[in-house]
Amino acid sequence: MGGRRRAGRLGETAADPVPTGRVTGLRRRGRGCCVVAPIVLHGRAWGELYVARPPEEKPFTSADAGFATVLAAVVAAGIAQAERLEEVRKLAFTDP
């Protein structure tokens, strides 16, 4: 799992005066802010880690976004390990 990691996205809150699609979604769900980090597996986007807070909570910081990025990388490593173990399990029963 080498390569450069994309940091978690941060910067929009439901309080922003010009609503983007993400801001509109936050408002619709009753959330105040969110941080999103990609889960990258084998060099491709597998999913995303999405964490949101209610409007009365303080917005996420860049440190929170960094933590989300690391957590997403740990999730990706766990998924990759599970895939490898499944392959070993298959080989154990099928390899002559």
Look at the alpha carbons of 58, 50, 28, 19 in this order and tell me if their dihedral is positive or negative.
Answer: positive
Nearest to 14, CA basis, from 25, 2, 3: 25
Q: Global pTM?
A: 0.73
CA distance 61 to 39: 20
Query: How many angstroms separate the first and last alpha carbons of the chain?
Result: 30
The kind and range of the H/E element at 46 are strand 44-53
pLDDT digit string, tens, across residues 62-85:
999 999 999 999 999 999 999 999
Residues 6+ apart with CB under 8 A from 33: 12, 13, 14, 26, 52, 53, 57, 59, 60
pLDDT digits (tens, 9 = 90+) for 33-71: 999 999 999 999 999 999 999 999 999 999 999 999 999
Alpha carbons 65 and 84: distance in angstroms, whole number: 29
